[in-house]
Structure 1
């Protein structure tokens, strides 16, 4: 073989190696798709992967085995609207005054801005805004609940497509006539009324499948936010789903049927990702907006005390699953506290967003904590508040402040039901945490709106009714 031929062969080999290397780098750097499956008012215990033997959730149970189950995942607030505000901005909503009400105001509010004018401040940057900067197609399906006025609309908050309703609750079956309450109307994109056909939980899944298929074909990275109103009231379920639970009755039977539909909808999404061959490059998260309101929808937050709207663990700790093949070890648990405001930076960094872009947020990218690259806790301290009530978790200790009784201190590893007040036996810790809680409050904006005090009294009564003291006596 001539020297020239050897040189040519070596050149060709070098080119081939460069091409293969560049393809490998390209694959390694491909942006993942992102799907957020977000339930509403679900009970902490109401899934098979959380230990339920009553609920039927085979699809979400499968997702849990394929990903990571978080045992101490917290929401940013124990009610729907503020919880969503913290999640979608990646920051504590208390810092921009989004403390009190579920907006728009189906509850009577005392405020300079009522009803549709109560919403996520337009100057706040959303999860969808950030992902669009990274070239993502973005879509939102279902319950918005972050403001009814046009300036708060999803299409003005970073989403390219929207099918859902602006308010906090509506029927699952189609209305026979256009509802007089505009916030209950189903909209396609901006202001176009289009009532659905069929059971709403199923419809939202079907709508999202179209978006996922279109973006998959165009090779565009996508973010699909499925904000189900299931299992929030009204208690609506199909006859077929109800028949799956012959041994149950009342709201417990209905919530089981609604949860079955929620699981079926999640399964449709997961199956479509596999069918399209994109499951390996898609982050899927399933979680919930707050603890279940057991007195309203028959949900179960066991073994935790408390329900929706309370600062006990049952009001703020939620089911949370995350699957990202190749990045997170399947069928594992993560036992340190995280918050739903961690989702924004987690998604943004997965999308390749630069660190310096995220300014003035409270969330962190949880991936390096979960895969062991970082060994410390994602959050040493977390806070919650509503009017005079407040709570603080510092390490494994939790302080809860009430408007009608002395504050209490709990050590959660030994007492997740929060039954044993240790404020008297830990006076130094109690005093220090109490002062730290107040110091944090002093940094906050004043609330943009306030509830009537009668609602606060109602929430305290709900807390007492679902504080599991009787279970121990």
Structure 2
């Protein structure tokens, strides 16, 4: 009897011990700082993904992030242009706060880039023991002090700014050299190469946590793709659209390869993943589609700053959900740092917020009651569902739209809602007064304006010559 009781007692103790070990193991996993991936697409329109309603270009791997996570239907970036959008992502602050309103000028001696006074997300994560890598398009400064390995990344494999997909210029592999190297491999294609390096880097990680930042140069011009990807779209007859489709398919494959590697290593449950575009698509130059939205890249209409925005964290966030309140790329930094258990102190003056409480359903309300944009003479402010905007392609005066009823910004209410216009104008003016003058100036917009002015002057000159010629012919006929 004693022996039997002893056996039963031992078995019970073993069961309890096993349960405790399992519970402790689960708790350790649940509380461990997550691994982090940020996929950042370039010039990808709001309406180009299958999960956003696109039908002609399958994107199953990117769509899986929506199926296994949350699709934010009102995802925004803080700027509608490549470099300032990235500046906001890396800092969690409006880029106009520190003068990063336009693109950093190319050239190692240009002396422009992401302000050295700003603390970056990778710098914060590295101080917490993360391995960090940037693989892809940087576009936050060419000089040595502005490059990824000087701004918090252990490694960099990619280009300093936008380049061709084949034979990219401004290419650096920090494992080989801190300097730009020439890419001679005729089979080298940036999207595929970035996926290959990302997969290898993940396989090399001996311990958690790690941070992979993968800013693709797809879907930015020039439109280029290997024949194997072009062959996937025999029914697309427009050559430009076919190239665009091939590029997007390549990027989707790259995302799929990275996700498969994370799964194979048993790390998916504790990996926080974002997929975001840097700005809306430049519809005319690349055939990108911004869905029902008005405007495009470099506009402050919705087609400029509203972008695909997907978040997956299998261990913490629900799957297959949509979130319909405005969120921003500025939220990425505070969300990640809160997830590590080291939220940023208010003294850092971040403009972003931790999204996990609202995305998990544990908190209600809007993460942002008011959102602002400034890009040269264009600007916008959104408060609730009302948006006051001055944008290229518009009337030149503030226009007022109710985005809840009119996401395409077609019905201007400015004349009938003067009080609301004044209220939003006051909000914008207050915010604008806090912003810095641009310190990073890209000559491209100015060149475009000069060319536009030159074309208009040439057009007027031709009309004048035609009138003079017609008048001369009439006078000669009369005589």
Distance 1:83 1:459 in 2: 25
Local SS of the residue matching 1:116: coil
The alpha-carbon distance between structure 1 residues 358 and 351, as it changes in their structure 2 partners (threshold 3 A), is farther
The equivalent residue for 2:164 is 171
Distance 1:298 1:409 in 2: 28
Q: Which of these residues, 416, 431, 442, is aligned with residue 440 of structure 1?
A: 431
The Cα shift of 1:319 comes to: 0.4
Local SS of the residue matching 1:231: coil
Output aligned runs, 1:28-39, within 5 Å: 28-39=30-41
The alignment status of 1:306 with 2:295, answered yes or no, reads yes
The Cα shift of 1:24 comes to: 3.4
The equivalent residue for 2:174 is 188
Q: Which of these residues, 245, 253, 259, is aligned with residue 270 of structure 1?
A: 259
Local SS of the residue matching 2:318: coil
The equivalent residue for 2:403 is 412
Gaps in structure 1 of 5+ consecutive residues: 107-113, 462-473
TM-score by length of 1: 0.87
Q: Which of these residues, 317, 320, 323, is aligned with residue 334 of structure 1?
A: 323
Check whether the contact 1:188–1:194 (CA below 8 A) recurs between aligned residues: no
Distance 1:397 1:88 in 2: 28
The Cα shift of 1:187 comes to: 3.0
Local SS of the residue matching 1:318: coil
Query: For residues 257-282 of structure 1, what are the alpha-carbon distances to aligned partners after superposition, in whole Å with 9 as ceiling and x for unaligned?
Result: 10010101111011111111111111
The equivalent residue for 2:241 is 252
The alpha-carbon distance between structure 1 residues 358 and 204, as it changes in their structure 2 partners (threshold 3 A), is farther
Q: Which of these residues, 47, 55, 58, is aligned with residue 57 of structure 2?
A: 55
The alignment status of 1:134 with 2:133, answered yes or no, reads no
How well do the aligned residues superpose, as a CA RMSD in angstroms? 2.6
The alpha-carbon distance between structure 1 residues 458 and 220, as it changes in their structure 2 partners (threshold 3 A), is farther
The equivalent residue for 1:236 is 224
The alpha-carbon distance between structure 1 residues 17 and 77, as it changes in their structure 2 partners (threshold 3 A), is same
The count of corresponding residues between Structure 1 and Structure 2 is: 442
Check whether the contact 1:205–1:265 (CA below 8 A) recurs between aligned residues: yes
Q: Which of these residues, 422, 431, 444, is aligned with residue 413 of structure 2?
A: 422
Q: Which of these residues, 338, 341, 344, is aligned with residue 352 of structure 1?
A: 341
The equivalent residue for 2:365 is 376
The alpha-carbon distance between structure 1 residues 335 and 78, as it changes in their structure 2 partners (threshold 3 A), is same
The Cα shift of 1:349 comes to: 1.2
Check whether the contact 2:300–2:391 (CA below 8 A) recurs between aligned residues: no
The equivalent residue for 1:297 is 286
The alpha-carbon distance between structure 1 residues 354 and 74, as it changes in their structure 2 partners (threshold 3 A), is closer
Distance 2:233 2:16 in 1: 65
Local SS of the residue matching 1:230: coil
The alpha-carbon distance between structure 1 residues 76 and 12, as it changes in their structure 2 partners (threshold 3 A), is same
Check whether the contact 2:65–2:310 (CA below 8 A) recurs between aligned residues: yes
Local SS of the residue matching 1:414: coil
Distance 2:228 2:21 in 1: 55
Local SS of the residue matching 1:345: helix
The equivalent residue for 2:144 is 150
Distance 2:266 2:440 in 1: 47
Local SS of the residue matching 1:417: coil
Check whether the contact 2:29–2:270 (CA below 8 A) recurs between aligned residues: no
Moved more, 47-56 or 332-341: 47-56
Gaps in structure 2 of 5+ consecutive residues: 454-479
Distance 1:64 1:303 in 2: 20
Local SS of the residue matching 1:173: coil
The equivalent residue for 2:98 is 96
Check whether the contact 1:345–1:358 (CA below 8 A) recurs between aligned residues: no
The Cα shift of 1:12 comes to: 8.1
The Cα shift of 1:459 comes to: 11
Distance 2:388 2:449 in 1: 20
Check whether the contact 2:159–2:172 (CA below 8 A) recurs between aligned residues: yes
The alignment status of 1:207 with 2:201, answered yes or no, reads no
The Cα shift of 1:214 comes to: 1.3
Local SS of the residue matching 1:405: coil
The equivalent residue for 1:75 is 77
Moved more, 335-344 or 402-411: 402-411
Distance 2:451 2:43 in 1: 15
